[in-house]
Amino acid sequence: MSSLLWASGRGHWEIVKLLLVKGAKSTSADKYGTTALVWACRKGYKKCVQALLQCGANVDTAGMNSWTPLIAATKGNYVNVVKLLLEYSPNVNAVDKDGHTALFITAKEGYTAVAAALIGASAYINVPDRDGETPLLRAVRHRNIDIVKMLLERHAKVSAVDKRGDTVLHIALRNRHKAITEMLLRNPKDGRLLYRPNNAGETPYSIDEAHQKGILTQIFGARRLNTPEDNENMLGYDLYSMCVVGCRFLFSDYHRLTTVGGEKTLARTMGTLCDALEAEFGALTVRLVRVFGREPDANDGRWKTVCCAPCWLVALTLYCLAVAGAALLTYGVQRSPAVYVATITIGCLIAAAAVANALTWWRLAESVVHSQKRRVLHAADRTDTTKMD
């Protein structure tokens, strides 16, 4: 180890200055690549740091564990040293051997002042580490509420997930932290994350519901819309979340819509939602409901009908007639004329109903064979072909 490294690591700034004046190289490093500037930053010796920077020390040289001067100063929570380094435009998004940026370290340790300085220097706020955790995930995990607030103000990604599939809402509700949960739900669109499952199938809502005194109940259940003033003062996310609590959500894969080929992109999104429905309730059930279910434009809950009779009732009647006809043929006493007449009558009714409902049977066969996703994508292709024509 050189004299400059030794003096810088122990804060002897006068000796550092003297060595630099006598020609010591500010970029000299030990066998691990750790420079004098990194040594000074590790202990927060501002005067040594200033002297080295003024003599041209490289502000981005990484030493042992891939620590840059900025990361070393951040780990020690040396605010003044961090601000001094930022004046020399370092790479604020450099990472150490674990993939942690300086901002990630502040989120973990709760170094609010350093985090504010880094965010002010345009540090990236959504950079994940090797485990997939972002600074916001780590700040929520360690209950650093001030840093959570700063990151949310800079539009940190609330929907980011870690390797377990947990979002920040999973973590906040598991930690029973009401204030952070309220912050995370201030944007109404983030309310949907309450029903997004992790890899184990847990949703934030189910995690909270498992506790006798739920945080979501405390946040949303205590409000009463008694006066116009209450209505005006209620935040949008309160109204949104009070409407969706108790609902069951399915999610489609996300595709970015564009002005070019938007129909096909939307069709792919709807197709993945159809797949999610079939996976949740069963492919046969979903496909039969599409044929026999309620009219999509009926506001009074009417079922699809044939000759004023619900399709499902027609199908059930035909099934009962077929069973009755088979029973008469199998167990008819001595095949009497009355049995033959009844059997022929039932057969004629079944045949007439089958012919009258030929379209329904065709839809049924098509629905069982072809999934709704395929139908949606085919419709989008036809739309695109029509536009080109």
DSSP 102-156: HHHHHHHHT-HHHHHHHHHTT--S----TTS--HHHHHHHTT-HHHHHHHHHTT-
Look at residues 4, 46, 50, 45 and name the one whose alpha carbon lies nearest to residue 23. Answer: 4
Q: Half-sphere exposure of 172 toward its Cβ, with a 13 Å CA cutoff?
A: 27
Residue 257: inside a domain: no
Average pLDDT of each block of 10 consecutive residues along the chain (389 residues)? 85 88 84 90 92 91 90 95 94 92 94 95 91 93 94 92 93 93 87 89 90 84 43 42 50 48 67 77 76 55 61 72 73 64 76 71 74 77 57
Q: In this structure, are 269 and 236 located in the same domain?
A: no
- Residue in the structure block whose two tokens are 């599939």: 165
What number of other Cβ atoms are within 10 A of residue 282's Cβ? Answer: 11
Tell me the C-alpha distance between 127 and 101, whole Å.
Answer: 8
Q: Does 237 lie in the same domain as 322?
A: no
Q: Please list, in sequence order, all residues whose beta carbon lies within 8 angstroms of the beta carbon of residue 235, skipping any fewer than 6 positions away.
A: 186
Domain edge (last residue) among 189, 221, 246: 246
pTM of the model: 0.58
The count of residues in the chain is 389
Same domain for 376 and 266?
A: yes
DSSP strand pairing (305-306 vs 309-310): antiparallel
The answer to whether 136 and 151 have CB atoms below 8 angstroms apart is yes
Spatial contact of 46 and 81, defined as CB atoms under 8 Å apart: yes
Contact 52, 89 (CB under 8 A): no
Q: Are residues 231 and 312 in the same domain?
A: no
Q: According to the model, what pLDDT value does residue 249 have?
A: 54
Query: Does 339 lie in the same domain as 275?
Result: yes
Comparing CA positions, the residue from 45, 51, 62 lying closest to residue 24 is: 51
365 within domain boundaries: yes
Looking at the fold, whether 271 and 207 belong to one and the same domain comes out as no
Whether residue 374 sits in one domain with residue 296 = yes
Q: Work out the angle at residue 137's Cα, subtended by the Cα atoms of residues 135 and 143, and round it to the nearest 5 degrees.
A: 100
Q: Where are the beta strands (DSSP E) in the chain?
A: 305-306, 309-310
121 found inside a domain: no
- Indicate whether 27 belongs to any domain: no
CA–CA distances in Å: residue 285 to residues 215, 280, 281? 36, 10, 7
Residue 19 lies in a domain: no
- Are residues 303 and 196 part of one domain? no
Domain shared by 370 and 276, yes or no: yes
State the sign of the Cα–Cα–Cα–Cα dihedral 165, 167, 168, 173. Answer: negative
**Domain boundary residue among 246, 279, 296?**
246
Do 297 and 226 fall within a single domain? no
Asked if residue 73 is part of any domain, the answer here is no
Question: 234 lies in a domain?
Answer: yes
Q: Which H/E stretch holds residue 347? A: helix 337-356
Residue 86: the pLDDT is 95
Examine the fold and report which residue of 196, 216, 246 is the final residue of a domain before the chain moves on.
246
Indicate if 278 and 311 belong to the same structural domain.
yes
- Confirm whether 61 is domain-assigned: no
Q: What is the pLDDT of residue 170?
A: 94
Domain limits for position 329: 262-388
How many domains would you assign to the chain? 2
183 and 235 in a common domain? yes
Name residues whose C-beta falls within 8 Å of residue 34's C-beta, 6 or more positions apart in sequence. 5, 63, 64, 67
**Residue partners of 278: CB distance under 8 A and separation at least 6:** 286, 287, 371, 372
The DSSP 8-state label assigned to residue 241 in this structure reads H
What is the amino acid identity at position 155? H
For the chain, count helices (H), then strands (E): 22, 2
Burial 37-47 (b: 16+ CB within 10 A, else e): bbbbbbbbbbe
pLDDT at 110: 93
